[in-house]
Structure 1
Amino acid sequence: MTKRVITFGTFDVFHVGHINILERAKEQGGYLIVGVSSDELNFAKKSRYPIYAQKDRIKILESLKFVDEVFVEESLELKPEYIQKYRADVLVMGDDWAGKFDGMKNLCDVLYLPRTPSISTTEIIEVVKSL
């Protein structure tokens, strides 16, 4: 039986770290659902809007062969509802979130995967700004 895997992120300034975690998330079940943080949610989290607009980030994710479904995440507090709506069996997040979603274990399995070392969107943006 194919497990349904769900993950969340902004996926701004798309890079190899995003690809790595999405590929590994897909390996956890076979059907990968990705929640993309809305522009407004990203502003609420990081006090800045993404470099790439929401529709462009969605298009990038939808073009990946290992992503089966994409939706807009409007609120961090709605994660339990998203897990239920998309009938997820596994929630996958980067290990920088380790422990923060353990409360979802009553809804599905929760797995924290290691991030790709030495790469992050925030770091990329800071490097570009300094040029």
Structure 2
Amino acid sequence: MKRVITFGTFDVFHIGHIRILQRARQMGDLLTVGVSSDELNLSKKGRAPVYPLSSRLEIIRSLRFVDNVFVEESLEKKREYILQQKADILVMGNDWQGRFDFLSDCCEVVYLPRTPSISTTEIIEVIKEIPPVA
């Protein structure tokens, strides 16, 4: 059995999230997803998520191609999470290209292309520009 693990914030869930998770799942028999805590998101992106952790966990758990979900508390614990989950493959978006190559001693590291023209950050910026309805 091949176990795949991936991580993300999964805030303002969109088609890009679906596609990367589906492609990750196709690489193995079991897909485990680490969902970044609100605190981790604040530290790595400089802003709190739009949706709270509990909602983001529920969204990811509801996907039929996701087998396990847990909370990612720290980027520095990736190795620990991989070993705990007995993952054979770490899948990340190619915006992280090369950042996790040091983990190739404990699992295969794969960077998948992101869906073009879609980004949670860009969606949030567009929404912020929409004038309020009076």
The TM-score with structure 1 as length reference comes to: 0.98
Distance 1:112 1:55 in 2: 27
1:20 alignment counterpart: 19
2:17 counterpart letter in structure 1 = H
Letter in 1 for 2:126: V
The residue number in structure 1 matching 2:78 is 79
Structure 2's unaligned 5+ residue stretches are: none
2:34 matched to which residue of 1?
35
What is the CA deviation profile of residues 1-23 of structure 1, one whole-angstrom value per residue up to 9, with x for unaligned ones? x2000000000000000000000
How far the C-alpha of 1:30 sits from its partner, in A, is: 1.7
Q: Could you say which residue in structure 1 is the equivalent of 2:112?
A: 113
Residue number in structure 2 paired with 1:68? 67
TM-score (norm 2): 0.96
Question: Counterpart of 2:9?
Answer: 10
Cα root mean square deviation, aligned: 0.4
Opposite residue 49 of structure 2, the aligned amino acid is P
Partner of residue 44, structure 1: 43
Task: Give the letter for the 1:5 counterpart.
Answer: V
1:7 alignment partner, SS class: strand
The one-character-per-residue Cα deviations of 1:62-121 (angstroms, maximum 9, x if unpaired) are 000000000000000000000000000000000111111100000100000000000010
Give the total of aligned pairs. 130
Structure with max Cα Rg: 2
- Give the equivalent residue in structure 2 for 1:57: 56
Structure 1: 5+ residue runs without aligned partners? none
Which of structure 1's runs of 4+ aligned residues deviate more than 4 A?
Answer: none
Quote the Cα distance in structure 2 between the aligned partners of 1:118 and 1:33: 26
What residue identity is the alignment partner of 2:102? G
Alpha-carbon distance in structure 2 between the residues aligned to 1:69 and 1:82: 12
Mapped to 1, the partners of 2:108 and 2:46 lie a distance apart of: 31
Tell me which residue corresponds to 2:129.
130
Any idea what SS the aligned residue of 2:122 has? Answer: helix
